[in-house]
Each structure stands twice: as C-alpha cells, then as structure tokens.
Structure 1
Amino acid sequence: MRALLLFTFMLLSACDQRPTLERLGGPTMGSSYSIQYVRMPGGPAPEQVRQAVESILHDIDQHYSTYRSDSTVSQFNQLPANHCLALPADMLALVAFGQRLAQQSAGAFDLTVEPLLDLWGFGPQARHEQVPDPHALAQARQRVGYQHLRLEPGMLCKDAAVELDFNSIAAGHAVDLIATRLVAMGIDNFLAEATGELKALGRKPDGSQWRVALELPGGDRQIARQVISVDGLAVSTSGDYRNYFEDNGRRYSHTFDARSGRPVVHALAAVTVLDASALQADGYSTLLLILGPERGWAFAVANGIAAVLVTRVEGGFVSQATPGFEHALKGE
C-alpha cells in the first residue's frame, strides 16, 4: 500500500512538471543582454544557461572590445603597417564577412573606421564629440580603407596603420553563438538578445509566438511602429538616432561612410533586417543605413534582403518594406 501511494505521488508530481518560461540577463558590451527560454522538465537551470551565455560574451569582449587594451582587436590595432597577427578562426571569418560588405558597398561599409570614430568623438580614444578640422580629417582618412587588409592562412595583415572596429557586426555574431549554444543544451524555444540584436526560435510555453516590437524614431523616446512574430529569424535594427551629437544645428550620427570619412547625411533614419543569421542581419542593417534611402532600397531589393527602411519626411516618418521582408514574415 505504501509503495502504491509513493508511486501515485511520483506520477502526480511528474504530471505537474510543465514547461516554464525562464528569464535572465545582465550587462554586456556597454549595454545589456537578455535571454528568455522555455525550460522543459529536467532542462538546464537558469544559472547553467547564464554561465554558458556569459562565457560567450566574455570571449566576445576579450576579442572584439576596442575599450580593452589587451583585447585581440586592440593588439592588431596597435601594430604598425606591414605587420600580421595570428587570429582565431571565428575572428578571421568576421573580417572576411566585413570585407565582403565593403566590396558590395564600394567601400561605404568598412571595418577600418576606428580612426574616424575617435576623431569625431565616438571611439574609445575620443576626447570629446566634435567636427574635426579638414587637416585632421585628411590625416585620419589615410589610415582608413579595407583595401589595406590582407587575409592570410590563420592571420590578418595590414599594409597601412589601419585600425579595426567590429561594433557593426560583433553583437550579431554573439547572438548567433548564443543561439547555437542554447540549441546544443537542448533548448529549442528561446528569444536571445544582446545590445538590441536578437534571434528567436520556437514558441512560448503557451504555444504563442515570440513577438518583437520594431522601433520608430521619436525624439527622446522610441515608439513601436510594428510588432512582428519571429521564429527561426534574427532581427537587427540600425538607426542614426541612438548615438549622435549636434553642432551648429546639424546632426552628426555615429554611422560613417568610410569613403568620405564623415557621418552619413541623408533622410534614412533606421533600417531593420531579418535573416536566419544575426551576423548577416547586423551587418546588412548597417550597410543599408550607410547607403541611404534610395541606394539602400535598391541594394536590398536587388540582393533579396528582408528589410524595412524608415525615412524622415516633413512631419514624420515613412516606412517601406522590401518584398523579402514580407516573404520572411510569412515564413516563405
């Protein structure tokens, strides 16, 4: 009788174990990260997931942070011209991706913009936000150019004193790594976000989809212009309204066209890109923002990119979605 009661209790306890929605987060890359995942009975506890995620983020910081003098990218940036540095395979892959974006945009997108960021006041070596004088700008531009990089087996070389900045793609790369790690841990339903870049897979415990609000630039506060359901896709938004300064009535954002050495000046305020890869979404949202409303739209349509472009017009904003964006929302 006692054994029967014990068996019945264990059976009822097992039946009560339902999937739960777990949440965790913390600081990273000067911003924050957040994870929501469905924990199945016997699945990884939040602390185990936290340790796995923060290990990935620690490695990202160690390799890609220009605010750390001991990071891998800082070691490369400190090298003089005509030198090489051995790099991890994933870092070499990110450089190769950045070089591809540079070639596709005719040099508008460029990973070697670090000297420009510092000069204009947006980088780790910046003294203050400012419009530089023409002579200083001309000097900085001599140290910018993706054509000065050369990928060799296991290493990266430079023929000029260029400096790398991975801020346009590192967060997307981190989200991809986190998503891969979560799946390896047996977690098939999650929403992973780092510094605004995110990827969702599966559904919530109640069967509903993960929903993401796309921002509309709105002065000091951001307004949701559209809420979308996401499964198996990453979402990246780049905008000129998050990091900028004003001087003599003109607005200067942290998004640079490497060819001119200056922040972009056009009516395109924000770009959202959907892609299976957070890295791809991150990189292409930046590239389209640099290109501007007309050239960005043409590039996105020609290359089948799932994107929404938000353009400033008198009295507000206009949003325009590419055919690829509509197809992605339908799961096509």
Structure 2
Amino acid sequence: MKIYSFIFLLICLSMSVKGKEPLNRYSLRGFAQGTDYSIVYYHPKELIKTAEIAAILNAVDSSLSIYNPHSSLVKFNKMGLGSMEVDTHFQQVFLASQHYYNLTGGLFDITIAPLIQAWGFGPKRIKVLPTQQDINAILPAVGLYQVKLHGKHLQKENAATQLDVNGIAQGYSVDLIADYLASKGISSFIVELGGEMRIQGVKPKREKFTVAMERPVHGEHGVELKESLLYLRKGAMTTAGNLEKYYFSEGQKVTHHINPKTGYTFVTPIISATVYANTAMEADALDNYMMSLSPQEAIKFANKRKNFEVYIVYKDSLGAFQELQSKGFHKFFKK
C-alpha cells in the first residue's frame, strides 16, 4: 500500500512539473497623467490589455487631476465654503494625505496648490513672481486641517483653500495598477509611471527586476548624471530632485519643492532623494519630505521607519556632491 502511494505521488509530481506552463514576457506602454507609463509582467498567458490600464488611469484623472477642468478636484478647488461628494479615489488619496501630513508635521500638505501656482509650477502661466505680500495673503488658506472628510463628503472650511495632489497621485495610480495585476493572478511585474515604480516577484530565471538610479556627479563638462543599477524583488521606488523643475529669481534658486509653512522654496543642500517603500504612494509622498530635510535628518527618519530606505545626494559647503544612504539601502545594489 505504501509503495503504491509513493508511486502515485511520483506520478502526480511528474504531471505537475510537465504541466507547468513557461512564463512569457508581456509589456504595455502608454501616456497618462502628463507622462509615460510602462508595464512589464511575466505570465503563461497575456492577461492585460492597454485599454484596461487606460480605464484605471482615466478614472484617477477624472477624480484628481489639477489639469483636467472637469475633474472632481478642480470642482472642489473652485467651490467656496461647503462640502461635495467625492469618489473612492479622492477619499483614499485624501486620507493618505492626511496621514502623511501628520507624519511630516505638516510639511507634506496637499493644500499647497495656491503656492505652487503663485511660483509658476501650476497649470496657469504667471507673469510676475509673488511678493512677500502675496505670500502672506495666500498662507492662511494653506493647511490640511482646514479640509475634512465626512464619509463621502469633503468639506472646505476656508473658501480660498485649494488642493494639489500631484505629490501623491501618481504613486497611488501605480499601486492601483499593481493591485489590478495581482488580482488577475500575475505575481511577477514592474509598473512605472512618471518615475514612480512598483515591483513584485522575480523574472523566470529567479532574477530580480533592475531599476536604474541616476545621481548627479561632477564630470568633465559640468554636472552629469551617473547611473547605478538597483535590484528589487518587491516594493516601490522613486526619486525626487531639483535638477529639472527650477529657475533663478534674484540670484535665488526656486524649485517646485515649496515649504507650505513659509511659502518659499525649501532651503536644503539635498539635490536628490531616492526612496524605497512598501507602496508607491508612500514612496511618492515621502520623497518630497526627504527634500525638505537636512541630509542627516533624512537618514535619521529613514532609519527609524520600517521597510523604508533612502539614498541622498547633497552638496557640501564646498559645492562638492556627497552621498548618504540609510542602513538598509545597500541591499539593493546586490543582484
């Protein structure tokens, strides 16, 4: 009896090995939320179509885009005092934004929209830069404590308060797509949207997914970007920096990283912050927070937080690029 059972077990194992279908590589590309996206997944069969991804991203845009004049967010920004019903996407992003607002002591604040616009980083062009008087007039409307969510209704307690969720919405979108892939039975994939990445599983030969991290260095022709390869099995990664979105005003560098408490650009030696977190939404929200801190403060924050790592590039007092990394970031350099 034991012999027959053993033979039966061997036959079943043999059938399961032979019946295991090979994993094929599938990729999807498109344009959404003002940027490119790409998805690579491994599965025996093609399960996802571009139209499905477009539907997810279009739904987020209809809810949260500051550039879509018909979005729920734009409608909320235009209304005065009162409340309006918002959809699930809006609710989830708002609740997450509240969490990171509290976690960062108010430095991550989605009510920063009027300041972003005043400095020329919003949807409308500006002709003149804001004066101190302009900033003083805007600041009373900034502060997420002035917006409340009651069930499905979002309430505005200051008529001038406006929201801008660009610092978290793309991460949320990436997580939505990742969850959608997982719901279809896909366990090996990488999703990228505007530099926000979410990874799950490994490739067919047990290889980790590869992510290219660019960091500034001094080269023969000035500042150059040096590429390093990172290897991930799961989680999310993104990089915040001020090498692209900036201009100079009266000799001062103005970036899109605006301090919601002062109304002016954060003064920090940090040039870029590459963040790893469990979700793309967390990485997206906290990479900007890293840019508001000193290099040492950013590393200290990361070392205290579970499943959170950061790689900092900053300029020292002599103008030379220096690098710091949290205690667990080194593992991403290993294949």
Superposition TM-score tier, normalisation by shorter sequence: 0.7 to 0.9
Q: Distance between the aligned counterparts of 2:163 and 2:67, measured in 1?
A: 12
- Which residue of 143, 146, 152 maps to 1:145? 143
1:34–1:248 Cα change, 3 Å: same
Q: Distance between the aligned counterparts of 1:327 and 1:181, measured in 2?
A: 28
The TM-score with structure 1 as length reference comes to 0.86
- The AA in structure 1 aligned to 2:325 is A
Q: For each residue in 1:42-95, what CA deviation from the matched residue of structure 2 results, as whole angstroms up to 9, or x when unmatched?
A: 332xxx4312211111111111111111101111111113x1111123322221
Gaps of 5+ in 1: 1-13
Q: Distance between the aligned counterparts of 1:212 and 1:142, measured in 2?
A: 41
The worse-fitting range, judged by mean Cα deviation, of 135-144 and 65-74 is: 135-144
Secondary structure of the residue that 1:191 maps to in structure 2? strand
Match of 2:254 in 1: 252
Q: For each residue in 1:158-207, what CA deviation from the matched residue of structure 2 results, as whole angstroms up to 9, or x when unmatched?
A: 11121011111101101111011111222221111001001111222343
Preserved contact between residue 101 and residue 287 of structure 1 (Cα < 8 Å): no
- The AA in structure 2 aligned to 1:270 is S
- The AA in structure 1 aligned to 2:181 is L
1:54–1:299 Cα change, 3 Å: same
Match of 1:222 in 2: 225
Q: How high is the sequence identity, in percent, across the aligned residues? A: 27
Preserved contact between residue 191 and residue 210 of structure 1 (Cα < 8 Å): yes
Output aligned runs, 1:98-117, within 5 Å. Answer: 98-117=97-116
Match of 1:8 in 2: none
Asked if residue 32 in structure 1 is aligned to residue 36 in structure 2, the reply is yes
Preserved contact between residue 198 and residue 278 of structure 1 (Cα < 8 Å): yes
Q: CA deviation at 1:327?
A: 6.3
Match of 2:162 in 1: 163
The TM-score with structure 2 as length reference comes to 0.86
- The AA in structure 2 aligned to 1:100 is H
Match of 2:327 in 1: 323
Output aligned runs, 1:33-48, within 5 Å. Answer: 33-40=37-44, 42-44=45-47, 48=48
Asked if residue 76 in structure 1 is aligned to residue 81 in structure 2, the reply is no
Q: Distance between the aligned counterparts of 1:97 and 1:329, measured in 2?
A: 30
Match of 2:212 in 1: 213
Preserved contact between residue 200 and residue 230 of structure 1 (Cα < 8 Å): yes
Preserved contact between residue 211 and residue 228 of structure 1 (Cα < 8 Å): yes
Match of 1:6 in 2: none
Output aligned runs, 1:39-58, within 5 Å. Answer: 39-40=43-44, 42-44=45-47, 48-58=48-58
Secondary structure of the residue that 2:141 maps to in structure 1? coil
The worse-fitting range, judged by mean Cα deviation, of 90-99 and 276-285 is: 90-99
Secondary structure of the residue that 1:296 maps to in structure 2? helix
Q: CA deviation at 1:221?
A: 5.5
Match of 2:177 in 1: 178
Preserved contact between residue 43 and residue 186 of structure 1 (Cα < 8 Å): no
How many residue pairs end up in the alignment?
Answer: 311
Q: For each residue in 1:212-267, what CA deviation from the matched residue of structure 2 results, as whole angstroms up to 9, or x when unmatched?
A: 0111035775321x311111111011111121112233211101110011111210
Secondary structure of the residue that 1:66 maps to in structure 2? coil
Preserved contact between residue 108 and residue 291 of structure 1 (Cα < 8 Å): no
Q: CA deviation at 1:282?
A: 0.9
Secondary structure of the residue that 1:61 maps to in structure 2? helix
Q: For each residue in 1:132-158, what CA deviation from the matched residue of structure 2 results, as whole angstroms up to 9, or x when unmatched?
A: 111111112122111211121111111
Match of 1:10 in 2: none
- The AA in structure 2 aligned to 1:126 is R
Preserved contact between residue 232 and residue 332 of structure 2 (Cα < 8 Å): no
Q: CA deviation at 1:329?
A: 7.2
Secondary structure of the residue that 1:35 maps to in structure 2? strand
- Which residue of 115, 133, 136 maps to 1:135? 133
- The AA in structure 1 aligned to 2:295 is P
Secondary structure of the residue that 1:256 maps to in structure 2? coil
- Which residue of 222, 238, 249 maps to 2:240? 238
Match of 2:4 in 1: none
Gaps of 5+ in 2: 1-17
Q: Distance between the aligned counterparts of 1:253 and 1:84, measured in 2?
A: 32
Q: For each residue in 1:21-53, what CA deviation from the matched residue of structure 2 results, as whole angstroms up to 9, or x when unmatched?
A: 22221211111101111231x332xxx431221
Match of 1:65 in 2: 65
